[in-house]
A and B are shown apart, each in its own frame.
Chain A
């Protein structure tokens, strides 16, 4: 088990299984099919992301460097939260980007969904964490990986 310390973007605690991408997470390309066609597991539809393509991310701890792509990203994430198809939490190695941040904030202010977001966990976090590992988010941005 290893602990990492990050910065809390939107608060909350949870324990879930990790899914990891080392490339940018393209929110629209990844989630559009899941939202449009009733996939409650939210399998990633981004053909350009070999780490995640075809993997379900609903309820998982999505570990990523940052999100990329269309500026619908934030509202797609917000919709995913409202439709309960969102990751259980999002853990960023880097500082959060503006689109993911918008999604997290919109979900926090305008919906009842809980999706804790922690950023600035560092490169070491992303190198250490692997698919299927157990992630626990504690208070103050502490993330346990085992």
Chain B
């Protein structure tokens, strides 16, 4: 890799051994992908995936300590994924013991490290950092050193920023030296589509199910999706962005998608159209039967498959302000329809602290509270990693949560029925 003099000096240890190791990590990382040079990180802020003070992740905290001791801190302020705990979320005594003494016993310590490393503000914990209420929204063409698969795929696809699917730790290293290796999704060539996905469903496909189907099929390739604009329209309005947030998270967690193009909708597809599709791109047709096949393929790993759900999590990735409002309407309407005052399963809606703050200013908040639904900034995934929580029958319409935990996936409509009417 050809480095600038400044970069070479860092690599040669002229600014200390630790900074040299940071640069060496990025150089080795880039060389594995034939990167010929580094490119400057241009976004205002970074976003990190590691938000949890999990006791066993000691190697990570030691590495962070090494960086801090040597004064090697982030050149950019950053947001970070959601906190793993929130007292608002119902837990049992034993679950709490496991959370506080065996799992996230380093949370306070790690949050202190994050503060010293450059945390944007004390509540900058969310996977949807790009929401306007949070304020970490990169511009089109910005080069990022982000991690968090759902945020990376959103930034690339919906915002038109440029970011590889960086791992935790690599994310902050790009911020520290101010550059990242130039390869993959940072390049024009790397943003071309390897797959044409044709949507031939008879109704608007469930975002999380469609994303899952595409992720499992294309893995880390770039899909160019044709026929979705029929359902989403041609403008990236609030509804379309929310749909693509959930769709993208499912493509990234059920596969390894870092960028998708939606014909006539996402920025690059609008500008470049089908010229983004590589010659000999493979093709995948998705109709109602294919979505049903994918849905039916999900394993249910509850001990008692017929168990009554004890908890429902909605908002992985975190919900948008509009989503919270829409869900309030839907839940209210259906509770009334089926003659119930409150939801029949304890339910948690999750959103960024900044979004929750705004939501609480609206007339929707007391209405949501009245339905019995709990609002939280928690990371449901980190909650479910507690083995005592993992044994509970938990339902969700998040395909990301389904993938990483024992929670069971249902479509949004099915969730509404379970919450408001009861039964499966």
State the A residues within 8 Å of B (CB): 9, 24, 26, 28-29, 32-33, 35-37, 47-48, 65-75, 78-79, 82-83, 95-99, 101-103, 105-106, 108-111
Among candidates B24, B49, B56, B404, residue contacting A71 with C-beta atoms closer than 8 Å: B49
Stretch at the interface among B25-33, B134-142, B265-273, B305-313: B25-33
Across the interface, which residues of A come within 8 angstroms of B24, CB to CB?
109
Contact status B164-A98, CB under 8 Å: yes
B169: interface (CB < 8 Å):
yes
Given contacts A36-B103, A66-B256, A71-B49, contact A111 B59 (CB under 8 A): yes
Bound form: Cα–Cα A28–B403 in Å: 10
Q: Cβ of A79 and Cβ of B29 under 8 Å apart?
A: no
Q: Of A67, A69, A102, A111, which one neighbours B166 at CB under 8 angstroms?
A: A102
Interchain CB contact under 8 A, B32 and A9? yes
**Bound Cα distance A99, B166 (Å):** 6
Contact of B28 among A28, A48, A108, A111 (CB under 8 A): A108
Q: CB distance B256 to A109 under 8 Å?
A: no
- Asked if A67 and B256 sit within 8 Å, CB to CB, the answer is yes
With A32-B385, A68-B255 as known contacts, state yes or no: A110 contacts B406, CB within 8 Å: no
Sampled A-B contacts (11; CB under 8 Å): A26-B404, A36-B103, A66-B219, A68-B220, A69-B149, A71-B49, A74-B167, A74-B170, A75-B167, A98-B167, A99-B256
* A38 CB → nearest B CB, Å: 8
From B57, B255, B404, A79 is in contact (CB under 8 Å) with B57
Chain B residues in contact with chain A, CB under 8 A?
A: 21, 24-25, 28-29, 32-33, 49-50, 54, 56-60, 63, 103, 147-149, 152, 164-171, 184, 215, 219-220, 252-256, 299, 301, 385, 387, 403-404, 406
Name the A residues within 8 Å of B256 (CB-CB): 24, 66-69, 97, 99
Query: What residue of chain B has the Cβ atom nearest to residue A117's Cβ?
Result: B32
Return A40 CB to nearest CB of chain B, in Å: 12
A71 and B149 contact, Cβ closer than 8 Å, known pairs A35-B56, A102-B169, A105-B25: yes
Q: Which of A36, A72, A97, A99 contacts B50 (CB 8 A)?
A: A72
Which A residues touch B59, using CB under 8 A? 78-79, 82-83, 111
Kindly list chain A residues whose C-beta atoms are within 8 Å of the C-beta of B103.
36
Q: Are B25 and A101 in contact (CB under 8 A)?
A: no
Most buried by A among B32, B60, B220, B403: B32
Q: Which residues of A contact B50 (CB under 8 A)?
A: 72, 75
Contacts of A29 in B (CB 8 A): 403-404
CA distance A101 to B165 in the complex (A): 11
Contact B403 A36 (CB under 8 A): no
Known: A26-B403, A72-B50. A36 touches B56 (CB 8 A): yes
Contacts of A32 in B (CB 8 A): 385, 404
**Chain B nearest Cβ from A42, distance in angstroms:** 13
User: Which residues does chain A contribute within 8 Å of B56, judged by CB atoms?
Assistant: 35-36, 79, 83
Question: A64 to nearest B CB, angstroms?
Answer: 12
- Least distance between A73 CB and chain B CB atoms (Å): 6
Q: Which of B21, B148, B299, B403 contacts A110 (CB 8 A)?
A: B21
A69 touches B169 (CB 8 A): no
Please tell me if the beta carbons of A71 and B299 are within 8 angstroms of each other in the complex: no
Given that A78-B60, A98-B184 are contacting pairs, would A106 and B404 also be in contact in the complex, using a CB cutoff of 8 Å?
no
Tell me the minimal C-beta distance from A1 to chain B in angstroms: 28
Q: How far is the CA of A109 from the CA of B19 in the complex (A)?
A: 12
Check A70–B149 contact: CB distance below 8 A.
yes
CB neighbours of B215 from chain A (8 A): 68
Q: With a CB–CB cut-off of 8 A, which chain A residues contact B301?
A: 47
Report yes or no: B167 in contact with A28, Cβ–Cβ below 8 A.
Answer: no
Which one of B25, B54, B148, B254 lies within 8 Å of A36 (CB-CB)? B54
Distance from A29 Cβ to chain B, minimum over Cβ atoms (Å): 5
Q: In the docked arrangement, what's the CA distance between A91 and B49, Å? A: 26
With A26-B403, A47-B406, A78-B60 in contact, do A101 and B255 touch (Cβ < 8 Å)? no
Contact indicator B219/A24 (Cβ below 8 Å): yes
Query: Are B299 and A48 touching (Cβ within 8 A)?
Result: yes
Question: Given the known A-B contacts A35-B56, A36-B103, A69-B149, are A24 and B255 also in contact in the complex, defined by CB atoms under 8 Å?
Answer: yes
A97 to B184 alpha-carbon distance, docked (Å) = 10
Q: Are B21 and A109 in contact (CB under 8 A)?
A: yes
Pairs A-B, 7 closest by C-beta atoms: A74-B167, A102-B167, A82-B59, A75-B168, A71-B147, A68-B256, A105-B28
Supplied contacts A26-B403, A109-B24, 14 more A-B pairs, CB within 8 Å: A28-B404, A33-B387, A69-B149, A69-B252, A69-B404, A70-B253, A71-B149, A72-B147, A98-B167, A101-B29, A101-B32, A102-B29, A103-B167, A106-B25
